Structure 1
């Protein structure tokens, strides 16, 4: 009887150790990848117009503010250029128009509204574009305007300026 017990115990032990004696493992590695490209969006959230409102013809240095809304990839450097408008030969001759009547105005990158703050489309040394860096959220970029003199015929005047972002 002892021999049956020994055989059963031996068989049980052999079965337990047989499973682990034949177990094996192997492994490999793999990469997880993602490429993110920079982007800037300047048109999804509409710009706020520079609206000088209604003023008398004797008004001088009429100021108004508008805004551009830009959303760029975080840490993406960008510049925003403003063109001459529909009626200006260059950024220093921007004009609003009604028929043949023209009213000069200027757009600036800063509230000080000095000649150094004129906002245009020149990049590089001596450039007059707005520079910024993306945050991943919509950034409000103010546009400061000035009409030096309203001494023109009593009409409503308009112009259209195109803002272009480069990143």
Structure 2
């Protein structure tokens, strides 16, 4: 007579006797992460108004573009950007001056590409809202009226103010 043995019960018994397998011990904890973002706005003048060399024989005015950028950490309405008269303004007219301060070149600041909206001394360049963390790029245009001007290197500095 032939006897057949099954290994299955023997293996099951061996596993029970071997006991549970042990992994390395672990422990967990939480690490807190936090930050505070200040509720603020900043202003930067990106592209300067540079007229380069003027052609005084031209019968048209000279125009150059520039940029002002405002960025806030929270969405806001009522953002106001104003532009003063510069260092050499006289009687409400912005003027560039030579380094000796003796010779002047008048210019205007415009808020539109069609050069129809002049910004008066202390006037508004921008008065609207901004979206949080999205740069608001504000174009600005400089314009020098056609005319005959004395040779020289002219410059001025405008103060651009952000109110929010």
- Tell me, yes or no, whether TM beats 0.5: yes
More helix by share: 1
| Cα deviation digits, residues 71-114 of structure 1 (max 9, x gap) | 02213420100000000035x41001103110000001112223
Q: Structure 1 regions of 5+ residues with no counterpart?
A: 1-34, 123-127
Q: 1:120 offset after TM fit, Å?
A: 3.8
Alpha-carbon deviation of 1:152?
A: 0.9
1:58 matched residue in structure 2: 57
Q: Paired residue for 1:87?
A: 88
Cα deviation digits, residues 31-68 of structure 1 (max 9, x gap): xxxx987421003xx42101112122223310101010
Aligned to 1:157: 154
Q: Is the 8 A contact 1:57 1:150 kept in 2?
A: yes
Q: What runs of 5+ residues in structure 2 fail to find an aligned partner? A: 1-35
- Structure 1 position 118, deviation (Å): 2.1
Q: Which residue of 2 aligns with 1:138?
A: 135
- 1:143 aligned counterpart, secondary structure: strand
Distance in 1 (alpha carbons) for counterparts of 2:66 and 2:122: 18
Q: Does 1:77 align with 2:78?
A: yes
Q: Is the 8 A contact 1:119 1:130 kept in 2?
A: no
Aligned to 2:103: 101
> Quick check: which one's strand share is greater?
2
**8 Å contact from structure 2 (residues 108, 118) kept in 1:** no
Structure 1: 4+ residue segments shifted above 4 A: 35-38
TM-score by length of 1: 0.66
Say what the alpha-carbon RMSD is for the aligned residues. Answer: 2.3
Work out whether residues 93 and 121 of structure 2, in 8 Å CA contact, stay in contact via their aligned partners in 1: no
